[in-house]
Structures are given as C-alpha cells and as structure tokens.
Chain A
Amino acid sequence: MATTAMPGRGRATGLARSLFGSPLNFAVTAGFALLLWATLPFVVRWAILDAAFLPAVPETCRAAGGACWSFIIAKHSQILFGIYPYDERWRPMIVCLLLLGLLIHSVRPQAWRPSLAIWWLGALAASWLLLAGGMFGLIEVTADKWGGLPVTLILTVVAIGFGFPTGVLLALARRSDLPVIRLLATLFIEVTRALPLLSILFIASIMLPLLVPEAFLPDKFMRALIALYLFASAYMAEVVRGGLQALPRGQDEAADALGLNYWQKQRLIILPQAVALVIPALTNTVIVMIKNTSLVLVVGLFDLISSGKAALADPEWRSPSVEVYLFITAIYFVLCFGFSRFADSLERRAKGPAT
C-alpha cells in the first residue's frame, strides 16, 4: 500500500490526511481530542492513580479516592464462584479451567474431528460430577449453591453446543417433505420464539413443579439449562433456515442426480454451504445467547452477575458496584469478543481458496 522507499512516511501522511484532510475531518478530530482531554485524566486518576489495590482490606478503599480494586482482589473467588462452599472452591476452579481450556483447544481447525464431541461430553459430565460431588469422597454440593463463572460457562456451552445441532435438525425438519415433521418443527419454533425467554424460564422453574411432582423433575439448574437450550435451538433453526433458502435449487438437484441419499446430501453439500452463508447471523445469535444466560438469576440461580451482586452485600465494604460490574463486563467481553473473532476466522476459512 505504502511507497516502497519510505513505507512509514506514506502511512503517516495517509493518517494525517484522514485526520485533518478536510474541514469536517478536522472538526471531528478536534471534537474527539477535546472529549479525550476532558475525560481521560479523570478516568486515569480514578482507575489507576487514586485507586486502591493492596492490601485487599476495606481500610485501603476508605483511604483511597479512586476505584476500589481491593474489593475485586479480596472477593474475586466469591464473584467467580458465588456461594459455593469456601473450602471446596478448587472444584469450580477446575471446572472453569477445564471448560475454558477445551474452548480454546476447540477453535483450532486441527481439533475438529469426531472425537472432539466425545471430549466435550466427557468434560461436561466431569464438570457436573465435580460440582455436584456426593461421590469419590467429594462432599455433595446441591445445584442451588453453585454459582458464578462455572454456571455461566456450563449454561452457555450446553445451550449453544446442543442448541446448534438441534437447530440444524429443526431447520431441515421445517423444510421436510413430510407434512407431520414440518408441522411439528414449525409449531415448536414458532411457539418458542413467541415466548419471552423470561417466561420460558419461569415456566420451567416455577410452573412445571406445580403441575408435576418435584420428585419426577430434574433439579432447578437442569430445568433452566433445558429451557435455555430449547430457546437457543429455535433461534438457531431460523438462522440456519435462512441459509438453506439462500442456496440455489441446483445444488439439491446435482446431489440428487449423483445418487446421494437425503442425509449424505445435507451433510456433504447443503449444510456446509448454508451454514457458511449465515455465520454472521449465527455469531449474533450466539453472542445474544451468551448474555441471555444471565437471565437465570430471576429463577434463583447464581450466574456471574448474581454472584457479583451477592458479593457486594458485604457491609464491611462501601459497595463498590461500578468496579464489580466492570470486572464482570470484562469477563463477558472476553467471551463474546473471543467468539466473534472465532466466527471471523471461520468465515475467512469458508471463503478462502482451496488448499
């Protein structure tokens, strides 16, 4: 792009032109400079210079004028793991490391083989065992005491990891030649989409136990998990259906003419193209679902946000809620932005030339 002789200089003049090249550019640049000049010193002073760090005790924060990061340092384990028994917090810690590690492992194309699904099922089962305990000498911890990051991670992974394949099947079912299958899929998708997620969660956690004896039902955590999963699958089904509709009819016909059967055709020809077409829309849905998991707080489950709120209730401290929410925001941002980058690489891969 830049000149060969002085690449740095070419870029610098280009930057200068885009900042000051026209009266409008100049005005916008000046406006932002003014805004930064007015706010940046305050932010830096609050977040860093005047902030309280160590020792992580309430007195440090009372003495400081700025942000109370001491609170995050002192309470990080409660924010991350909620009301999980203090001496057992190594268990949710391992669960978080396990799930995050597997997530990071899974984004690399080299990892995409059928055994990865087995690894995930194994990791989820291990997470569940580790959190619940009650065997292998682990103290039993019921699901109403679970909280924080592991809850958010499990809800996200299950809702999206199971919701996506189910959504694909629903999308195919909605285009099926068999009227009964088509009707059932359409009914499920339309009803699920018509209900707010909040009401689905209330139905799962409050109304269901009124109709069915509690003994026959899975626990509250599992019910919320299933509700999120069904909700996600309905939304993903419609996104995938959009991709299916965008494919030219000729792809179907060419696959038929070769003699591929229905499932071979969908798996080898139709879905790889349809899903690649809707990666941006799927990313959007996934990010919304990651954040939707926080709604389980209304049915009394302790996700990351509820754990943060619970930690703030300590009267010893002066309730530094802005700092806590910033901390939680940062965690959500890493999850969502990470997924967005992953989706970006998938899209580039789908569009890229053959190897």
Chain B
Amino acid sequence: MTVAATITPAPGQPAITMTGVTKNYGSFQALRGVDLAVARGERIVICGPSGSGKSTLIRCINQLEQHEGGRIVVNGVEVGPEPKQLEAIRTQVGMVFQSFNLFPHLTILENCILGPTWVKKLPRAEAEAKAMALLERVKIPDQAHKRPGQLSGGQQQRVAIARALCMEPSIMLFDEPTSALDPEMVKEVLDVMLELAGDGMTMLVVTHEMGFARQAADRVIFMDQGQIIEQATPQSFFANPQHERARLFLSQIL
C-alpha cells in the first residue's frame, strides 16, 4: 500500500526503462524486444503504421496489457501484475485514451474526483478544489456539473486530461488523443497538451500529429512490426529519416 507513497523519484533516475519487452497476441508478435529509456521531463512522440505496436507499448507501461518478456521499470519500481505493483504504477502514470472513456453516468466533476477520493483517499472538498483548478486549466470549469454526453468531443478529451492530472501523476501516456476528434477540435486538445509539455511533465504520446511532434517532442520514436526502428530529434527525423519504412510512412502522412 505504501509503495506508491514512498516513491520520490531521484533526479538522475530515468522515469521509464524498458528492456527487451515482448508481447504476443496468440501468434501475432505485438512487441518483439523493445528497449527504451525515458528521462524525467522528456516528451516523446511515438509514431508508426497501424499494428506496429505503438499502443501496446504504452499500454504495457501502466499494465492495461501485460508484457510477457523483458522488464519495465517506472520511477525505480518494477512493473508487474501484482495488485501492489499495479497500484504503485497507476497512481504514478496517467492515461488519456483515443475514445476519451469518460464515465457517462457521472458528472464532469465526479469523473475528476473519483480517483483522488477513492484511490488516494483525499477528502472530497480538497479533491473538488483541485479538480476545479484543473478544469480551469483545461478551460472548461463552467461544464463541471454536466455529464460527458452533453460536451463536444474536444471538451470531453480535455476533461479526460484533467481527470488524469487530478491523480498528480509524474508520467502521462496519450494513446492517439486526437484521432477520434473532428478536425476543428484537434487544436484545443493539442494546446492543452502543449501547455502540459511546457510545464515539464514526462509525456509519451502516440500520435500522427506531426505538428505537435515538431513543437513539443524531445524525441520521435518510429515503430514498425513491434520494434523501435528509428529514434531521433524531431528536426532530424522529419528532415532526414534513416529507414526506408520511416520515409515511406512520412511521405504518406505529411
């Protein structure tokens, strides 16, 4: 129980270390030996063709998927399927999904305070104050008492970001956060993410928004067939991709 509370990440320690991580779905190899080290405060954009293992990679970090081989260490704690490990990881790592996944039977505010009150046992008033501050930050405090179904897609995704931030995570995972949005709503979500990046949050973002990658990423990772085949700064990745498959991918999406 106290595992989560006692983690105070050392400054030099990497936020995430993955070594030789593998994952299969039946005979399909989703991840084949992924090695990745993420520094504290680093912003990483992960791209690649569909089925390349991008989502599986970040879902293994908070154990929505269980990896089969290799090791994942988050803030110095080994990631695994034991309830104590899960609790330690999930209170440290926030996640934003492609389809928002807000809880439709609860109000926006209730969505935001659920984790803090039930998992972190925060008093309700304190959790509400913090949630309102974060809703303010994603610019929708006036919607706090509506239900998710009454909000636009862009608003819902901003609430989802606020909901994850309410748990005060040290790492945020984004799984194609703008793919399900109408084009005119993409910007409002990316703006919130840019602001978050500016605040020094450690972020792993699976996205095809190359504008976001150029603006905010420290590193772009290109995946294909369950492996990281190229990683570079956005400037050199976009200007001069090394691999044939990366060139092909960029020519298709840009």
Other than the given A258-B114, A269-B103, A353-B150, 8 more pairs (CB < 8 A) read: A254-B103, A257-B90, A257-B93, A257-B95, A258-B90, A261-B87, A268-B114, A354-B145
- Whether the Cβ atoms of B150 and A260 lie closer than 8 Å is no
Number of A residues with CB within 8 Å of any CB on chain B? 21
In angstroms, how far is the closest chain A Cβ from the Cβ of B111?
9
Q: Does A350 contact B (CB under 8 A)?
A: yes
Query: Which residues 81-96 of B sit at the A interface, judged by CB distance below 8 A?
Result: 83, 86-87, 90-91, 93-95
In angstroms, how far is the closest chain B Cβ from the Cβ of A252?
9
Q: CA separation between A273 and B147, bound complex, in Å? A: 14
- Whether the Cβ atoms of B90 and A272 lie closer than 8 Å is no
> Contacts A259-B119, A260-B118, A268-B118; is A254 near B167 (CB within 8 Å)?
no
CB contacts (< 8 Å) of A256 on chain B: these are: 62-64, 90
**Which residue of A is nearest B65, CB measured?**
A253
**Which residue of A is nearest B87, CB measured?**
A259
- Whether the Cβ atoms of B147 and A257 lie closer than 8 Å is no
**Which residue of B is nearest A265, CB measured?**
B118
Query: Which residues 135-151 of B sit at the A interface, judged by CB distance below 8 A?
Result: 145-147, 150
In angstroms, how far is the closest chain B Cβ from the Cβ of A250?
4
Q: Does B249 contact A (CB under 8 A)?
A: no
**Which residue of A is nearest B94, CB measured?**
A257
In angstroms, how far is the closest chain B Cβ from the Cβ of A279?
13
Number of B residues with CB within 8 Å of any CB on chain A? 30
Contact of B115 among A260, A276, A354 (CB under 8 A): A260
- Whether the Cβ atoms of A250 and B97 lie closer than 8 Å is yes
- Whether the Cβ atoms of B105 and A276 lie closer than 8 Å is yes
**Which residue of B is nearest A250, CB measured?**
B101
Q: Does A25 contact B (CB under 8 A)?
A: no
Q: Does B102 contact A (CB under 8 A)?
A: yes
- Whether the Cβ atoms of A272 and B105 lie closer than 8 Å is yes
- Whether the Cβ atoms of B147 and A251 lie closer than 8 Å is no
Q: Does A199 contact B (CB under 8 A)?
A: no
Q: Does B99 contact A (CB under 8 A)?
A: yes
In angstroms, how far is the closest chain A Cβ from the Cβ of B52?
20
In angstroms, how far is the closest chain A Cβ from the Cβ of B172?
11
- Whether the Cβ atoms of A257 and B64 lie closer than 8 Å is yes
Q: Does B9 contact A (CB under 8 A)?
A: no
In angstroms, how far is the closest chain B Cβ from the Cβ of A87?
53
- Whether the Cβ atoms of B95 and A264 lie closer than 8 Å is no
Q: Does B20 contact A (CB under 8 A)?
A: no
CB contacts (< 8 Å) of B107 on chain A: these are: 354
- Whether the Cβ atoms of A253 and B119 lie closer than 8 Å is no
Q: Does B104 contact A (CB under 8 A)?
A: yes
Q: CA separation between A268 and B105, bound complex, in Å? A: 10
In angstroms, how far is the closest chain A Cβ from the Cβ of B128?
15
**Which residue of A is nearest B150, CB measured?**
A353
CB contacts (< 8 Å) of A272 on chain B: these are: 105
CB contacts (< 8 Å) of A268 on chain B: these are: 114, 118
CB contacts (< 8 Å) of B64 on chain A: these are: 253, 256-257
CB contacts (< 8 Å) of A251 on chain B: these are: 101, 103
Most buried by A among B86, B101, B119, B150: B101
- Whether the Cβ atoms of A259 and B97 lie closer than 8 Å is no
- Whether the Cβ atoms of B104 and A273 lie closer than 8 Å is yes
In angstroms, how far is the closest chain A Cβ from the Cβ of B251?
32
Query: Which residues 20-65 of A sit at the B interface, judged by CB distance below 8 A?
Result: none
CB pairs A–B below 8 angstroms (13 shown):
A248-B101, A251-B101, A254-B95, A257-B90, A257-B94, A257-B95, A257-B97, A258-B119, A260-B115, A260-B119, A268-B118, A276-B105, A350-B105
Query: Which residues 98-125 of A sit at the B interface, judged by CB distance below 8 A?
Result: none
